[in-house]
Amino acid sequence: AQSVTQPDIHITVSEGASLELRCNYSYGATPYLFWYVQSPGQGLQLLLKYFSGDTLVQGIKGFEAEFKRSQSSFNLRKPSVHWSDAAEYFCAVGKSGFQKLVFGTGTRLLVSP
Amino acid sequence: GAVVSQHPSRVICKSGTSVKIECRSLDFQATTMFWYRQFPKQSLMLMATSNEGSKATYEQGVEKDKFLINHASLTLSTLTVTSAHPEDSSFYICSARSTSGVPETQYFGPGTRLLVL
């Protein structure tokens, strides 16, 4: 069965600094990988996704993620964090022709002035 | 594009009553919709998968008689919490998977906060 691990529950980053949120997955085949962001009391917004091809994917709001098969990772990065990026970030994995997504436990990003 | 709405955004009800939550895909057709439950500061837990015109598939441990799901059209799925109790209080989020374009992607609604008194 698929599983997703986000090892960092909370991360605090200074505004303007770079960000990397970690995501490791467990799945026997090539996964479909997603990053979603959730602001307090809101639904989830898709930041980016990886299905195949170029392992470095660009998303909205200046985010990017890199799929590394050898490390079973799909880490999210942003070169310069803005205060508005403070939110909860969820990594998720699905299977090819998938019906379900499995979510990680989320990482709460705090942005300090 | 790919907008999903939920109604209501929040609801307060008395214990023992039933509550219906609607999930609509506004600008695309969705053969499959998903219902999730999220407890405070926790991740999303899939409750059920709803396919248009057929019975929903429930995840293990989810009571299908308590959480009734109907997916009557390609743009609407409803979740009815029957005989709600305080332990059903939670944040319920739906998502919809498009039938075209990029069908592998789920688009999420804004969520419905349910409080059962």
Q: For B45-77, how does the pLDDT look when each residue is reduced to its tens digit (9 = 90+)?
A: 999 998 888 889 999 999 999 999 998 888 999
Residue A100 contacts B where some CB pair is shorter than 8 Å: yes
Please list every residue in chain A whose beta carbon sits closer than 8 Å to the beta carbon of residue B4. 43
8 A C-beta contact, residue B34 and residue B23: no
Which of A98, A105, A108 lies at the smallest CB-CB distance from B104?
Answer: A98
Give CA angle at B101 (A51, B55), nearest 5°.
90
For residue A58, what pLDDT is reported? 96
8 A C-beta contact, residue A46 and residue B107: yes
Could you tell me which of B47, B53, B54, B2 has the C-alpha nearest to residue B24? B2
3-state secondary structure chain B: CCCEEEECCEEEECCCCCEEEEEEECCCCEEEEEEEEECCCCCEEEEEEEECCCCCEECCCCCCCCEEEEEEECCEEEEEECCCCHHHCEEEEEEEEECCCCCCCEEECCCEEEEEC
Tell me the residues of chain A between 59 and 98 that have a Cβ less than 8 Å away from chain B.
90, 94, 97-98
How sure is the predictor about B103, in pLDDT bands with cuts at 50, 70 and 90? low
Which of B43, B108, B111 lies at the smallest CB-CB distance from A104?
Answer: B43
Q: How far does B111 lie from chain A, in Å, by closest CA?
A: 5
For residue B19, what pLDDT is reported? 97
For residue B41, what pLDDT is reported? 77
Could you tell me which of A111, A68, A60, A64 has the C-alpha nearest to residue A88? A111
For residue A99, what pLDDT is reported? 66
8 A C-beta contact, residue A92 and residue A33: yes
8 A C-beta contact, residue A44 and residue B93: yes
Residue A101 contacts B where some CB pair is shorter than 8 Å: yes
For residue B1, what pLDDT is reported? 66
Give CA angle at A99 (B69, A29), nearest 5°.
160
Measured CA to CA, the distance from residue A111 to residue A83 in angstroms comes to 6
Over its length of 113 residues, how does chain A's per-residue pLDDT go in tens digits? 778 999 999 999 999 999 999 999 998 777 889 999 998 888 889 999 998 888 999 999 999 999 999 999 999 999 999 999 999 999 999 865 556 888 999 999 999 99
How sure is the predictor about B114, in pLDDT bands with cuts at 50, 70 and 90? very high
Q: What is the mean pLDDT of residues B94-98?
A: 89
Give CA angle at A33 (A96, B62), nearest 5°.
75
Could you tell me which of A107, A105, A104 has the C-alpha nearest to residue A31? A104
Please list every residue in chain B whose beta carbon sits closer than 8 Å to the beta carbon of residue A51. 104
